Structures are given as C-alpha cells and as structure tokens.
Amino acid sequence: MSYPETYRYTKEHEWVHLDGDHAKIGITEHAQHELGDIVFVDLPKAGSKVAKGQTFGSVESVKAVSEIYAPVSGEVVEPNSLLSQRPERLNEDPHGEAWLIKVKVATPGEINDLMSAADYQRYVGAE
C-alpha cells in the first residue's frame, strides 16, 4: 500500500494534507484495514473547532468504535457528506475520496512534528 508523500501522519493513524492554510484530514489505509467493515462515521459540523490531539469524531466498524484525533487545530470548513450515505467508501479509498473533514488551519507549522510517509510506513510496519 502506498502512502501519499505529500501527506503527514499521526501515531493514531490519521493523515493531514496541508494546502496553504487549508487542510484535508482523513484516516490511513492501515487504520481502515484494522477497523474492518466501516458502517458509521460521526463528523463535526462546519464551523466547529477542532484542537490538535483532541478527538473530533468517530469511525465505527461492525466490531468497534474508534475515536479520531485532530492532527492540527482549526475550524471545520466542510465535513465529507459522502460518508454519511456511504461509510464503506472509507474502506475503499481512505486517502482520496473518503477524506473526513476540511479544516481552516490555525497554525500550519503544527504539522511539522507529524510523520512523513516513509516514517509512517516504518511505524505501522513495526507495530
């Protein structure tokens, strides 16, 4: 599985793709695989605040609920409405179409302590 080079990754298996002061946030291929069949995604509304390291929503598979943590702080611009109707898309395209939220980032420098694609692959390989 390939992890996009332009994304940064957390130890909790989220990714963030920064573009100027806007970012897309999602969960990784590794995370969707571990969760199994995803049946429900709970996301914050546009306008709500997320804080780095704090939970902002949850992803439920058939077997369990997992919290999702914000890799950066900011204000939600858009939750991905696709996932309310088709949560299974998270299993199929977690790095692409099935992103979770778009955020206006407060401090873009916050992503600097996150893992690169290569680091993340080593991290999940060793887990």
Q: Which of 35, 32, 38, 23 is nearest to 70 (CA)?
A: 23
Task: Name the minimum Å distance from CB 31 to other proteins.
Answer: 15
Cβ nearer to other proteins, comparing 23 with 43: 43
Q: Cβ of residue 3: shortest distance to other proteins, in angstroms? A: 22
In 10 A of CB 18, how many CB atoms? 20
Rank residues 40 and 107 by Cβ distance to other proteins and give the closer one: 40
Does residue 109 sit in helix, strand or coil?
helix
Strand arrangement of the beta sheet that strand 55-61 belongs to: 38-42, 55-61, 65-69
- The minimum distance between CB 36 and other proteins, in angstroms, equals 5
The nearer residue to other proteins, 61 or 80, going by C-beta atoms, is: 61
Residues lying near other proteins in the complex (CB under 8 A) are found at 36-37, 39-40, 42, 58, 60-63, 65, 84
Shortest gap between Cβ of 62 and other proteins (angstroms)? 4
Angle at 53 between CA 51 and CA 58, to 5 degrees: 85
